[in-house]
């Protein structure tokens, strides 16, 4: 069973609308910061502290926003954390509903194999480096692709449109360089 792209788009739009209406705009990159804080707090238990004034941290990034990030490190079961888990579960369910991945797809996607061969180690390194660069840039910009582009554009935020233009301005030439035909 394949999900029609129009129905999928409408469903995604409805989820975004309900998220903004009921909770807050969707964004997930902060949860990586929270995960780092959780691990840091395990290694150094005094990283996050609670007082009568609320939560704070010896780490300036976790202490910012009135201790909001420090509080999330201390109490990680929150909307953002659950949303990230739901994304992983949802993608697994979606893959299963569409018949899962073929043996060929589990190795390397065809476009990658055609250009770089069937080995997975190069693809994993490229994926990790690309993901790291995107996440680092997202945190520098104070948000992520879902927060800036998807939620931001849905709310007609100028920064969302600028981020989308910048993302595509970088992604299209990169894809052309990496996957040019006949190479």
**Percent of residues, the chain, with pLDDT higher than 90:** 14
Q: State yes or no: pLDDT of 13 exceeds 60.
A: yes
**Global pTM value:** 0.65
Provide the pLDDT confidence category of residue 1 given band limits of 50, 70 and 90.
low
Q: State yes or no: pLDDT of 183 exceeds 60.
A: no
CB 154 within 8 A of CB 27: no
CB 139 within 8 A of CB 33: yes
Residue, of 104 and 29, whose pLDDT is higher:
29
pLDDT in tens, 53-81: 899 999 988 888 888 889 999 988 888 88
**Chain-centre distance of CA 169, in angstroms?**
19
Over residues 119-127, mean pLDDT: 84
């Amino acid at each position: 069973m394949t999900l029609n792209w129009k129905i999928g788009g409408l469903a995604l739009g409805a989820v975004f609308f309900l998220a903004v209406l009921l909770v807050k705009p969707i964004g997930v990159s902060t949860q990586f910061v929270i995960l780092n804080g959780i691990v840091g707090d395990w290694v150094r238990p005094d990283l996050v502290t609670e007082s009568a004034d609320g939560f704070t941290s010896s780490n300036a990034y976790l202490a910012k926003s009135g201790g909001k990030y420090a509080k999330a490190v201390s109490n990680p079961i929150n909307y953002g954390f659950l949303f990230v888990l739901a994304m992983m579960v949802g993608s697994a369910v979606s893959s299963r509903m569409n018949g899962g991945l073929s043996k060929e797809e589990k190795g390397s996607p065809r476009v990658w194999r055609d250009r770089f061969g069937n080995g997975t180690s190069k693809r994993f390194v490229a994926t990790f480096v690309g993901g790291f660069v995107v996440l680092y840039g997202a945190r520098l910009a104070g948000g992520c692709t879902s927060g800036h582009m998807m939620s931001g554009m849905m709310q007609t935020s100028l920064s969302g449109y600028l981020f989308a233009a910048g993302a595509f301005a970088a992604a299209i030439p990169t894809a052309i360089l990496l996957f040019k035909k006949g190479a």
